[in-house]
Amino acid sequence: MSYSHHTEKHYIERTGWLRASVLGANDGIISVTSLIMGMAASGASSHTLLITCIAGLISGATSMAAGEYISVKSQEDVEKADLHMEHKELQKNPDLELKELTQIYIARGLEPQLAHEVAIQLTAHDALAAHARDEIGIHDNTAARPIQAALSSALAFSVGALFPMVAILISADQHIEKAVMAVGVISLALLGALASYAAGTSIWKGSVRVALWGIAAMLFSSWIGSLFNVNPI
């Protein structure tokens, strides 16, 4: 009897980079666009808006990278500490750890004898990996990768911040505010759709959700900026 090789690509495998990329791009579009909207409403010139956009891109990308690295690095440190603790327990109390693993498999629905046999075989193969996966919940697909997360966030933020910059460069001075907002809403809707597609969820729901939050942030920033406009049109 021959068996065909069957491999499925699950969406959970994309969790690490997808989360960082979507968060970075979303923040890049919303924060920089909202910043420009507020500055435009205050009466700033197109040159000032462009400089503000560039500054927002640079500061935001570095901030996102640093924040994401620190956050994910902390997660990685916790995972390493748990693995170190589990490694010591496996050396100190291997029988108790075997019973613990057996109970985990029994709780998941295996018969006691089968659960014990599975625990023995997995322990013989790689005891620490078995406990990391089934006791602690550390998987290769979802393990913390701080460098990857930091780079993904910084790059995604930069890409997101390019949208309002392009809007400033291609629009006439009197239409910058409207152009920046229009480009921001469209890019957010596309980002929401793309993220939902990559995650395997509803494209329309994801698109509308992201766009609505973006519109709220832009309108609020514009209102705040208008309070500082000493020469309203």
Pick the closest to residue 148 from 156, 160, 159 (CA basis). Answer: 156
Q: How far is the C-alpha of 85 from the C-alpha of 159, rounded, in Å?
A: 41
How would you class 88 by CB atoms within 10 Å of its CB: exposed for 0-12, middle for 13-18, buried for 19 or more?
Answer: exposed
* Position 72 in a domain: yes
pLDDT at site 232: 54
* Position 117 in a domain: no
pLDDT at site 31: 92
pLDDT at site 62: 93
* Position 59 in a domain: yes
Q: Are 76 and 144 in contact (CB under 8 A)?
A: yes
Read off the pLDDT of residues 3-40 as tens digits, 9 standing for 90 and up.
455 455 544 444 555 666 777 888 899 999 999 999 99
Residue 57 belongs to what H/E stretch? helix 46-92
pLDDT tens digit at each of 233 positions of the chain: 444 554 555 444 445 556 667 778 888 999 999 999 999 999 899 999 999 999 999 999 999 889 888 988 888 888 888 888 888 988 898 888 889 889 989 988 889 899 899 899 988 888 888 888 888 877 766 666 788 888 888 898 999 999 999 999 998 888 898 999 999 999 999 888 887 777 677 888 888 988 899 999 999 999 999 898 766 54
Q: How far is the C-alpha of 91 from the C-alpha of 193, rounded, in Å?
A: 49
* Position 139 in a domain: no
Distances (CA, A) of 189 to 39, 74, 127, 215, 228: 23, 32, 46, 10, 30
* Position 130 in a domain: no
* Position 21 in a domain: yes
Q: 218 Cβ partners below 8 Å, 6+ apart?
A: 30, 33, 34, 37, 181, 184, 185
* Position 176 in a domain: yes
Q: Are 178 and 89 in contact (CB under 8 A)?
A: no
* Position 4 in a domain: no
Q: How far is the C-alpha of 45 from the C-alpha of 118, rounded, in Å?
A: 70
Residue range(s) defining the domain that contains residue 61: 16-88+150-223
Q: Is the pTM of this model over 0.75?
A: no
Neighbours of 181 (CB within 10 A): 22
Distances (CA, A) of 45 to 58, 102, 177, 189, 226: 20, 69, 11, 28, 14
Read off the pLDDT of residues 180-192 as tens digits, 9 standing for 90 and up.
999 999 999 988 8
Q: Considering its fold, how many domains does the chain have in total? A: 1
